[in-house]
A and B are shown apart, each in its own frame.
Chain A
Amino acid sequence: MAQQKVDIQIEEADGYRILKPAGDLDVYTVGSLRDVLGKMIEEESPHVVVDLDGVPFMDSSGLGALMGGVRRMREAGGDLAVSCTKEQHLKLFSITGFGEGVSIAPTVEEAAAGFRDA
Chain B
Amino acid sequence: MQPLGQSVGQAAIRYQRPPARQAQLATVGVPPQDQIEAIESPLRDHVGCVHESDGGSFVLGPGDVRCLVAAEVGVVHACEPYAAPCCIQELGAVRESDPPLFPKPALELFDPRLAGRRGRDRGAQVLQVTLVGRHEQVVGPEHVELPQLRSKRPERLEHDRNASILVDHVPGQEDEVDRAPEADAQGLDPALEMSRPPGHVRVGEVEDRQRGAPGADLDAPLDQPQPVWLQQGVGAETRPHGEGGARKLHRFEHTGIVRLSLRYKIVGGFVLLLSLIGLLGWVTYSLFGSLREVQTRVFDDAVPGLVVAAEVVRSYTAQSAAIRGYLINSRREQLEQYREEVTQVAVTESRARALFDSPRERTLLAELIEAGKDFHREVDKRVLPIAKKGDRALAFNRLGREGDSAVADIERLGQQLRRTQDRVMARNQRGLQDRSAQALAILLLVTIGAVLIGLLLAIVVSRRLVQGLHQLVDAARAVGRGDFDQTIDIRTGDEVEELATRFTEMQAGLKRLQQLALHDQELEIAASIQRNLLQKSVPHTPEVHLAPMQRQANLVGGDWFDVDSSDGRLAIVVGDASGKGIGAALMATVALSALRAERGLGGDGRRIVSRANRALVDATDPESYATVIYLDLELSTGEATWLNMGHPPPFILRASGTRDGPRGHYLEGPRNRVLGWFDDPGLEQGSVKVLPGDRLVLYTDGWLEAKSVDGESFGEHRFAEALTRLGILGGEALVEELVREVERFAAGKLDDDLTMLVVEFLGAPVGRAGAELTGEEQWHSRR
Question: Which residues of A are in contact with B by a Cβ distance under 8 Å?
Answer: 1-5, 7-13, 20, 27, 34, 36, 39-40, 43, 56-57, 59-61, 63-65, 67-68, 70-72, 88, 94-98, 100-101
Contact = CB atoms under 8 A, between A and B. Distances in A.
B32 interface: no
Contacts of B625: 60, 64, 67, 96
Contacts, number: 106
A98 B674 contact: yes
B206 A11 contact: yes
B171 to A, nearest CB: 36
Given A11-B209, A98-B673, A1 B579 contact: no
Given A7-B203, A65-B623, A97-B681, 18 more contacts: A1-B93, A2-B72, A8-B213, A10-B216, A11-B210, A11-B211, A39-B215, A40-B214, A60-B576, A60-B577, A60-B701, A63-B578, A95-B646, A95-B648, A96-B627, A96-B646, A97-B682, A98-B674
Given A2-B73, A9-B228, A68 B211 contact: no
Contacts of A1: 93, 105
30 contacts: A2-B71, A2-B74, A4-B92, A7-B230, A9-B211, A12-B210, A12-B222, A39-B214, A39-B215, A57-B711, A59-B705, A60-B576, A61-B579, A63-B578, A64-B624, A64-B625, A67-B625, A67-B677, A68-B621, A68-B622, A71-B622, A71-B677, A95-B627, A95-B671, A96-B646, A96-B673, A96-B674, A97-B674, A101-B673, A101-B678
B678 A4 contact: no
A34 B579 CA distance: 13
Nearest to B752: A59
B214 A61 contact: no
B90 interface: yes
A2 B222 contact: no
B44 to A, nearest CB: 23
A97 B578 CA distance: 14
Contacts of A60: 558, 576-579, 584, 625, 627, 701
A64 B623 contact: yes
Interface string B650-692: 0000000000000000000001111001100110000000000
Interface in B71-126: 71-75, 90, 92-93, 105
A95 B580 CA distance: 19
B578 A95 contact: no
B579 A27 contact: yes
B473 to A, nearest CB: 33
Contacts of A98: 646, 673-674
B218 interface: yes
Contacts of B211: 9-11, 20
B704 to A, nearest CB: 10
A9 B677 CA distance: 28
A97 B581 CA distance: 24
A59 B558 CA distance: 13
A95 B672 CA distance: 8
B576 A10 contact: no
A96 B628 CA distance: 10
Contacts of B93: 1
Given A10-B214, A59-B705, A5 B90 contact: yes
Contacts of B218: 12
B63 interface: no
Contact of A97 (B71, B673, B707, B711): B673
A63 B92 CA distance: 22
B576 to A, nearest CB: 7
Contact of B671 (A13, A59, A97): A97
Interface of B: 71-75, 90, 92-93, 105, 203, 206, 209-216, 218, 222, 228, 230-232, 234, 558, 576-581, 584, 621-625, 627, 646-648, 671-674, 677-678, 681-682, 701, 705, 707, 711, 713, 752
A77 to B, nearest CB: 16
B213 A64 contact: no
A65 to B, nearest CB: 6
Contact of B581 (A10, A27, A59, A94): A27
Contacts of B621: 68
A57 B752 CA distance: 14
Nearest to B715: A88
A94 B228 CA distance: 33
A9 B230 CA distance: 8
Contacts of B646: 95-98
Nearest to A92: B701
Nearest to B228: A9
B619 to A, nearest CB: 14
Contacts of B580: 27, 59, 61
A2 B88 CA distance: 14
B516 to A, nearest CB: 10
Task: Please list the 5 inter-chain residue pairs (A to B) with the smallest Cβ-Cβ separation, ordered nearest first.
Answer: A97-B673, A68-B623, A71-B622, A96-B646, A60-B578
Contacts of A88: 713
Contacts of A63: 578
B647 A56 contact: no
B280 to A, nearest CB: 61
A60 B577 CA distance: 8
A68 B90 CA distance: 26
Contacts of B558: 60
A2 B105 contact: yes
A40 B218 CA distance: 13
B508 to A, nearest CB: 14
Contacts of B584: 60
Contact of B578 (A5, A43, A61, A94): A61
A25 to B, nearest CB: 12
Contacts of A39: 214-215
A10 B203 CA distance: 13
Nearest to A35: B214
Contacts of A3: 234
